[in-house]
Structure 1
Amino acid sequence: MTLLAVIRHAPTAWNREKRLQGHTDIGLGAEGRIVAASWQVPREWQGWRLLTSPLGRARETAAILFPEREAEIEPGLREMSFGAWEGRRLADLRVDPGAEAAEREQLGLDFRAPGGESPREVQARLAPVLARLAAEGLDTVAVSHKAVSRALYALATGWRMLEKPPIKLKDGCAHLFDLAADGSPRVAELNIRLGSGDG
């Protein structure tokens, strides 16, 4: 088995404002950098392969957590696209009849914002990444995003995103998965606290 630890980037101003970020490349900002600097990853992970999403908020988090390392950029770890909804608040969309947010959210893995991606499509782009990691057999830390972590969790558990997750994935935590020989993930440990931040 190959181990994969997934960490969501530290918070951005848009996270604080509850805006959907998706592919929009929002940086951490001063507050996010302080949160990331308060985190500590388990000592044994320091020698693992380090991957990051190409988006700046993930790359900057990886650089803060692993200052002596250079992360490998993995496009498959990019956040799910929210299309036309990027920059907007989900709470506002839910009361906008034209957005059809409630109807879209009832689709679970097939939820898609206008012009965006679905969690199922995120799983499809993760699959070859997971298969490669399993084939290479190197334990890996990946700094990524909330929707990517949720899509991976759904893949590992069979959660269809039609109801609340069996276990809520908390911010400021890492989530550890075992990868089978074909890359199929299985939950090893969830919500491994990194520190006092709420990334």
Structure 2
Amino acid sequence: MTTVILVRHGRTTANADGSLAGHQPVGLDDTGQLQAKAAGERLAGVPIAAVVTSPLARCRETLALALPDVEPQVDPRLVECGYGDWEGQQLAKLSKDPLWKVVQQHPSAATFPGGERLAAMSARAVEAVREWDARIGAQHGPDALWLACSHGDVIKAIVADALGVHLDLFQRIMVEPASLTVINYTPLRPFVVRLNDTGAPLSALVPRGRKRRRRSTRDSDAAVGGGAGTPGT
């Protein structure tokens, strides 16, 4: 019954300015650095058998701040989805692209121009987590805890697999910057123990300083790439 703690990297400069980073070497902004340190405080004292990470700089920076005494192992299968021509563009602009509706409503059919299929991203990420889980369980026993640092859409895909739901439903899942998601893998089925846990008080859910506006279908869109998180957290 090995358990993985999935950590999304802290908020980045791309998250803050509303652009889609993809594989670009963006770093954490000031808020993201604080989030990473706070995640490290929450992980203090947890006996982690192994730490695995995406190769991208924002994940490495998050771990360096959260777990400075740990040398993570890199697995390229945990890298962010390859958004191809979408990388570096503003999400507001991308939301007008016809592909946006496919990404929102039928992501298993979405292929980014010059990039990766969301279904392929899901398959390699799930394969990586399940392979590492089996390996760590064999080395450290069934009660071992281990940690993987990755990206919003990647973690959402792993959670969807653990819940036994189709990839087309993964946009209903939220994974905010520096959040912790915990999955316990057993011989017969996984159990999602925690999801998108930032440790933030529920007061963070209350809108701040927003004028009343008419709701639109855009309110139902998921943040491609994971987004910048809930304001005020």
Band the TM-score falls in, shorter-chain normalisation: 0.7 to 0.9
1:195 deviates by 6.0
- CA distance in 1 between partners of 2:12 and 2:173 (Å): 24
- CA distance in 1 between partners of 2:14 and 2:196 (Å): 23
Aligned-partner SS, 1:48: strand
2:188 equivalent to 1:187: no
Q: Deviations over 1:60-112 (max 9, x none)?
A: 1001100111111111111111110001122212224xx54224433222322
Q: Deviations over 1:21-74 (max 9, x none)?
A: 111121224443233223323334353311111000000100110011111111
Q: Deviations over 1:131-159 (max 9, x none)?
A: 23223314211111101111101111233
Residue 88 of structure 1 aligns to which amino acid in structure 2? Q
Contact 1:159 1:165 in 2 (8 A): no
1:43 is matched with 44
Residue 57 of structure 1 aligns to which amino acid in structure 2? R
1:12 deviates by 0.9
- CA distance in 1 between partners of 2:49 and 2:185 (Å): 15
Larger Rg: 2
2:168 equivalent to 1:169: no
Contact 2:8 2:175 in 1 (8 A): no
1:15 is matched with 15
TM norm structure 2: 0.73
Shift of the 12–142 alpha-carbon distance from structure 1 to 2, 3 Å rule, reads: same
Moved more, 87-96 or 103-112: 103-112
Identity rate of aligned residues, in percent? 29
Residue 126 of structure 1 aligns to which amino acid in structure 2? A
Contact 1:108 1:160 in 2 (8 A): no
- CA distance in 1 between partners of 2:100 and 2:174 (Å): 22
Q: How many residues align?
A: 196
2:111 is matched with 112
Shift of the 6–101 alpha-carbon distance from structure 1 to 2, 3 Å rule, reads: same
- CA distance in 2 between partners of 1:128 and 1:164 (Å): 17
1:33 is matched with 33
Aligned-partner SS, 2:36: helix
Contact 1:20 1:88 in 2 (8 A): yes
Shift of the 20–181 alpha-carbon distance from structure 1 to 2, 3 Å rule, reads: same
Residue 6 of structure 1 aligns to which amino acid in structure 2? L
Aligned-partner SS, 2:25: coil
Shift of the 43–34 alpha-carbon distance from structure 1 to 2, 3 Å rule, reads: closer
- CA distance in 1 between partners of 2:79 and 2:154 (Å): 8
Residue 192 of structure 2 aligns to which amino acid in structure 1? V
- CA distance in 1 between partners of 2:151 and 2:103 (Å): 21
Residue 88 of structure 2 aligns to which amino acid in structure 1? G
1:155 to 161, 169, 177: 161
- CA distance in 1 between partners of 2:164 and 2:111 (Å): 19
Residue 190 of structure 1 aligns to which amino acid in structure 2? L
Q: Which runs of 5+ in 2 are unaligned?
A: 138-143, 202-227
1:179 deviates by 2.0
2:122 is matched with 123
